[in-house]
C-alpha cells in the first residue's frame, strides 16, 4: 500500500478536492496549483517531480524579482487589471503580468530572459457583430459586401512568445483590455472587410501592419476633412439628441481614434518584438 491514497495530492500529500488537476501520474491539489505560474497549463504531461521543481523555481523567482529594475512598462494604463509587459533592459529580461506596475512584484510573475524567447508573433482576432455591445458574440453568419459598413467589426490582440524555459513553453497574453469595436465606412466600389487585419504576424510583418494602420488613420482623416465621406455620418453610434453636424464630428473623431487605438496595439507588439528579437 502506498503512502498517499489516489485522491491525495501527489506533491504535498494533502487532500486534492475541488480545483485539483490531473498530472501525468496522480493529481495536484488547489493549494499547490496556486503556487505555479499562471502561464503553466501542461499538467497532463507533468510529473510530481516537475511540479516540485517548478514550485522551487517560483520561490527562487520571487527572490530574483527583488533585483529586477523596471526600465519600462508597456500596456494599457487606464485599467487596473490590464496586462503589462515590463522589462529590465540592463539584465535583459521581462515579465508579463496582470495589473499595475507599482505592485507587480507581489504577484510573483515569471522572469523570462530575452535569450529564452525563440519567437514572437502577434495574433489578431477579427470578427463582426450586428450590435456595438462590448460583449456581443462575434457572428459566424455569411456577410455580404453591402453590409460591410453596417456591422460592427471587433478586434482582439494576443501576443505570443515561444520559449525555451524550464517550465513554460509559451506565453499568450491579451494586449487589449476591451475588445475594440469599430464601424468601417466604405468608399464607392471599394469594399473593405473591416480593417482586414485578421491573422498572425511576426517581425517585419508586424511593422508593416502598424505602418498600414497609421497611414489608414491619416488618409481617412484627410478624406473626412475634404468632406468626401458622406458615408461616415451613417455610422450608427447612437446619439440622436445632438444636432447632425455635431454627431458627424463626434463619429468621425471616434472612427479615427479607433483606428489609432488598433494601430497602437500593433505598434506595441512591434516594439516588444524588436526589443527582444531585434526585429
Ligand atoms: Zn498539494
pLDDT in tens, 129-166: 998 888 899 999 999 988 888 899 999 999 999 999 99
Q: Which residues contact 154 (CB under 8 A, 6 or more apart)?
A: 125, 126, 127, 128, 129, 136, 138, 179, 180, 181
In a shared domain, residues 47 and 169:
no
What is the structure's pLDDT at 1?
Answer: 43
What is the structure's pLDDT at 99?
Answer: 87
Instruction: Specify the DSSP class assigned to residue 139.
Output: P
The CA angle 99-103-104, to the nearest 5 degrees, is 60
In a shared domain, residues 176 and 255:
yes
The residues of the chain scoring below 70 in pLDDT are 1-6, 187-189, 228-243, 247
In a shared domain, residues 209 and 261:
yes
What is the structure's pLDDT at 253?
Answer: 83
Instruction: Specify the DSSP class assigned to residue 9.
Output: B
End residue of a domain, out of 42, 66, 90: 66
Ligand 1 center from residue 165 Cα (angstroms): 23
Residue with cell 529590465: 88
Q: What are phi and psi of 106, to 5 degrees?
A: -60, -25
Ligand 1 center from residue 182 Cα (angstroms): 46
What is the structure's pLDDT at 254?
Answer: 86
276: how many CB neighbours lie within 10 A of its CB? Answer: 22
pLDDT tens string 14-40: 999 888 999 999 999 999 999 999 999
State which residues form the domain around 216.
Answer: 68-277
Ligand 1 center from residue 33 Cα (angstroms): 7
Residue length of the chain: 279
In a shared domain, residues 124 and 216:
yes
d(C-alpha 200, C-alpha 266), whole Å: 11
Ligand 1 center from residue 106 Cα (angstroms): 22
Ligand 1 center from residue 46 Cα (angstroms): 14
What is the structure's pLDDT at 240?
Answer: 56
Ligand 1 center from residue 167 Cα (angstroms): 18
d(C-alpha 26, C-alpha 31), whole Å: 15
Ligand 1 center from residue 225 Cα (angstroms): 63
Ligand 1 center from residue 50 Cα (angstroms): 13
Burial 90-109 (b: 16+ CB within 10 A, else e): eeebbbbbbbeeeebbeebb
Ligand 1 center from residue 128 Cα (angstroms): 44
d(C-alpha 55, C-alpha 233), whole Å: 57
Instruction: Specify the DSSP class assigned to residue 47.
Output: -
Strands 93-98 and 112-113: antiparallel
End residue of a domain, out of 16, 51, 66: 66
Ligand 1 center from residue 81 Cα (angstroms): 28
d(C-alpha 212, C-alpha 196), whole Å: 11
In a shared domain, residues 269 and 205:
yes
What is the structure's pLDDT at 14?
Answer: 93
What is the structure's pLDDT at 233?
Answer: 46
In a shared domain, residues 13 and 42:
yes
- pTM (2 d.p.): 0.90
Neighbours of ion ligand 1 (CB under 5 A): 9, 11-12, 14, 29, 32
Amino acid at each position: 500500500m502506498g503512502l498517499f491514497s489516489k485522491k491525495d495530492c501527489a506533491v504535498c500529500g494533502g487532500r486534492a478536492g475541488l480545483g485539483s488537476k490531473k498530472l501525468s501520474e496522480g493529481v495536484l491539489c488547489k493549494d499547490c496549483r496556486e503556487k505555479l505560474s499562471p502561464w503553466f497549463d501542461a499538467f497532463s504531461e507533468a510529473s510530481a517531480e516537475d511540479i516540485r521543481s517548478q514550485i522551487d523555481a517560483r520561490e527562487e523567482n520571487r527572490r530574483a524579482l527583488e533585483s529586477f529594475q523596471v526600465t519600462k512598462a508597456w500596456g494599457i494604463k487606464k485599467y487596473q487589471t490590464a496586462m503589462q509587459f515590463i522589462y529590465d533592459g540592463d539584465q535583459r529580461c521581462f515579465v508579463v503580468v496582470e495589473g499595475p506596475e507599482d505592485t507587480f512584484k507581489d504577484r510573483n510573475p515569471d522572469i523570462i530572459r530575452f535569450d529564452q524567447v525563440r519567437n514572437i508573433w502577434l495574433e489578431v482576432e477579427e470578427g463582426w457583430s450586428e450590435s456595438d455591445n462590448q460583449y456581443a458574440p462575434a457572428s459566424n453568419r455569411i456577410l455580404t459586401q453591402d453590409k460591410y459598413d453596417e456591422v460592427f467589426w471587433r478586434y482582439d490582440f494576443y501576443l505570443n512568445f515561444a520559449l525555451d524555459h524550464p517550465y513554460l513553453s509559451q506565453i499568450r497574453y491579451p494586449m487589449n483590455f476591451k475588445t475594440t469595436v469599430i464601424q468601417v465606412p466604405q468608399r464607392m466600389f471599394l469594399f473593405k472587410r473591416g480593417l482586414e487585419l485578421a491573422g498572425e504576424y511576426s517581425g517585419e510583418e508586424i511593422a508593416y501592419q502598424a505602418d498600414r494602420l497609421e497611414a489608414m488613420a491619416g488618409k481617412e482623416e484627410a478624406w473626412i476633412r475634404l468632406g468626401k465621406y458622406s458615408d461616415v455620418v451613417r455610422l450608427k453610434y447612437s446619439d440622436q439628441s445632438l444636432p447632425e453636424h455635431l454627431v458627424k464630428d463626434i463619429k468621425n473623431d471616434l472612427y479615427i481614434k479607433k483606428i489609432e487605438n488598433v494601430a497602437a496595439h500593433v505598434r506595441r507588439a512591434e516594439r516588444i518584438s524588436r526589443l527582444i528579437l531585434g526585429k
